[in-house]
Amino acid sequence: MTPTADKASRHGSVARVGAWLSGDGRFERSRLLRAGAATLVSSLVAVLVIRAVARSVVTVPASFTALRTSSVITLTVLGVIAATGACLVLNRRVSRPISTFRRIALVALAISFIPDIAIWASHSHDASAKTVIPLMLMHVAVGSLCLLILPTLGRETRDDDIVASSPPSAVPGSQ
């Protein structure tokens, strides 16, 4: 790849991320609640798989409660409910709730690492990289699923969205 093509490719990637973060759209309450349920189910599957893999590779001390099934499930449920609730609140309070949600969710994901890093740094409850990194991976999994599913499935549909996705014969006046 030439330096010019490489620069253009990087610029295109940055532009796509910028468009994704600033994308317009609003949430539709009923669609968002279904999207929240889908996000919850997929998030629970993801964190339980990560937990199972971590526990099969590492002996987790009994004192390290963060990787207990009940802890993982409880915090995942609370996180997805909070994200879905944030979408509902943003939909009422801001003009661009989807882009605002994406920005807040990315910041929240970064902040969610602070307790994990603190546990790791303090070595409390025999914490080590082998026990804390799976927690961080769970945060990334749930955060990614919230960022993907809630705005995608929870977005209100507009007439132009329906027309754009319809076959030509279904569009009025296109025969």
**How do residues 30-77 score in pLDDT, each as one tens digit?**
999 999 999 999 999 999 999 999 999 998 888 888 999 999 999 999
pLDDT tens-digit readout, 142-167 = 999 999 999 999 998 865 454 444 45
Residue 67 to residue 61: CA distance in whole angstroms: 10
**pLDDT score, position 20:** 47
Residue 121 to residue 128: CA distance in whole angstroms: 8
**pLDDT score, position 5:** 55
- Considering the entire predicted model, what is its pTM? 0.78
Q: Which of 25, 143, 28, 43 shows the shortest CA–CA distance to 94?
A: 25
Output 125 or 14, whichever has higher pLDDT.
125
Mean pLDDT score of the chain: 85
Residue 99 to residue 22: CA distance in whole angstroms: 5
State both tokens at 88.
């509902």
pLDDT at 2 over 70: no
Burial class for 58, CB neighbours closer than 10 Å (0-12, 13-18, 19+): middle
Residue 130 to residue 171: CA distance in whole angstroms: 56
